[in-house]
Amino acid sequence: MTTKSILCVGTGEHGLPADWEVIRAGTLAEGRRHLQARPCAVGLLLVRETDDCADFNAFLHEHYAPHWVAVLPPSLAAQPAWRRLLADHCADYHTWPLDHQRLRHALGHALGMAALRDGLGLALAPVRGAGNATLTGQSDAITRLRRQIVKVAAASAPVLIWGESGSGKELAAQDVHAHSPRRKGPFVPINCGAIPAQLIQSELFGHERGAFTGAARDKRGLIESAQGGSIFLDEIGDLPMELQANLLRFLQEKTIYRVGGTRSIAVDARVIAASHVNLAQAVRRGAFREDLYYRLNVLALDVPPLRERKDDLLPLAEHFFHTFGSERAPRVKGFSSRAAQAIREHDWPGNVRELINRVRRAMVMAEGSLIQPRDLGLEAPPTASAPLQLDDARIRAERDAIDASLLRAGSNITLAARDLGVSRMTLYRLLAKHGITAPSRASDTRAQSE
């Protein structure tokens, strides 16, 4: 589904012919906004003499999914910092002045590679969530949510997902799509809060040529591009009132009008919406249309905050330790038991996103081989101030070693027992002695047969 559509970040001529759709972002900030609203396969960076390499580096680290082609002044292309940036992040580069034909070739090649990856199911994840990711966790709350997702996925009515920031609403939406009969169709995410008010109507509904200054070509909107799949309207509470009416019409009639268009276009896309604000209250305040609220709130899902699923904390921390394994400092092998305790005791107001950030930071910054509470930016759990009796110290050390091994082994008894140099039966006995809940035996049995 790759078209000749390019995100062009920076200022200057690009010299691309009219049959290429060029989305212009004058600054890196604008580029970020575009990419948050809509992933793109290929990007063009127009770099100027005065541009800061560190800014571009940060941008490209964050937005690694598109194939980037850069055009920069020859003087910068000779500097080591810029050369490293090109080598690390770009599929190709050119120097000013533009050789239009070469650039067209490079971008065409990048589009071809993107289409190839897409066709093989290898398209890099958009910035805000991986396509194959799924809600990890074994707590009762997340197990219940997964069951609800499967049920909701089979139906075709709109879904409304509520949850605190960073709790996993988008991931839940992706799971709904992935379990639905539409899974082969596109999943099109759009953050209603991230797109400037004057752009959102044409982004969502598209526009006809000449609809407004700068509308040089007909353009399909995001709803149309979700044909046969699902559209995910994130932060739906931020949708301006007048667009709420248009969305309501789409939900009722399954047709849209492009901006400046008179022809109604039938679109078969399922709406999944999410909000971190309570929409019922927004309705009472007059900030959200009541009729739209009832249309959307047919199938509701609540994503519980992390503090209500404490059992997921350590498995999730481990999960992210492995997911971001390539970033860790080579000496860092896992979490200390004090770090595990600090993770359990923290309240996680930023939910899973906060956990990811703290774990990633700790994996890079930790000085020892095991992550400590301070590496996570968390308070160390208090230690007893009274001197320990030798027996107490032994018991505590034994418990810490068991905790750390279970963490390293992803709660797998067989692996943890091997790690500790004891038999599985001994480990079960020790777990009972220390009052540690034994992990499920299903994963244990699986590991034994591997």
Site string for Mg ion, 234-253 (x = CB under 5 A): x-------------------
Measuring CA to CA, how many Å separate 86 from each of 26, 91, 94?
20, 8, 10
336 CB contacts (<8 Å, ≥6 apart)? Answer: 368, 370, 371, 372, 373, 400, 404
Is there binding between residue 372 and ligand ATP (CB under 6 A)? no
| Nearest approach, Cβ of residue 350 and Mg ion (Å) | 12
| Nearest approach, Cβ of residue 169 and Mg ion (Å) | 5
Residue 403 interacts with, from ligand ATP, Mg ion, none (CB under 5-8 Å by kind): none
Place of tokens 């082994």: 409
Residue 360 interacts with, from Mg ion, ligand ATP, none (CB under 5-8 Å by kind): none
Exactly one of 39, 166, 189, 206 binds ligand ATP (CB under 6 A); which one?
166
Exactly one of 63, 170, 189, 295 binds ligand ATP (CB under 6 A); which one?
170
Is there binding between residue 35 and ligand ATP (CB under 6 A)? no
| Nearest approach, Cβ of residue 191 and Mg ion (Å) | 7
- Using CA atoms in the order 400, 403, 404, 406, what is the torsion angle rounded to 10 degrees? 160
Decide the pairing of beta strands 370-371 and 230-234: unpaired
Residues 254-313 that bind ligand ATP (CB under 6 A): 276
Count of residues near ligand ATP by CB under 6 A: 19
Question: Which stretch, 162-170, 256-264, 345-353, 441-449, contacts Mg ion (CB under 5 A)?
Answer: 162-170
Could you say which DSSP state residue 327 is in? G
Residues 4-33 that bind Mg ion (CB under 5 A): none
The residue (of 21 and 354) whose beta carbon lies closer to ligand ATP is 354
- Determine if residue 323 is left, alpha or beta; phi over 0 gives left, psi from -120 to 50 gives alpha, anything else beta: alpha
Site string for ligand ATP, 145-164 (x = CB under 6 A): ------------------x-
Would you state the structure tokens that stand for residue 69, as one six-digit string?
């082609």
| Nearest approach, Cβ of residue 243 and Mg ion (Å) | 19
Q: Single out the residue of 190, 154, 152, 157 nearest to residue 172, CA to CA.
A: 152
Is there binding between residue 170 and Mg ion (CB under 5 A)? yes
- Using CA atoms in the order 110, 113, 115, 119, what is the torsion angle rounded to 10 degrees? -170
Place of tokens 């005065």: 50
Would you state the structure tokens that stand for residue 173, as one six-digit string?
């939406």
What is the rounded CA–CA span in Å between residue 446 and residue 448? 5
Binding site for ligand ATP (CB under 6 A): 128-129, 133, 135-137, 163, 165-171, 234, 276, 352-353, 356
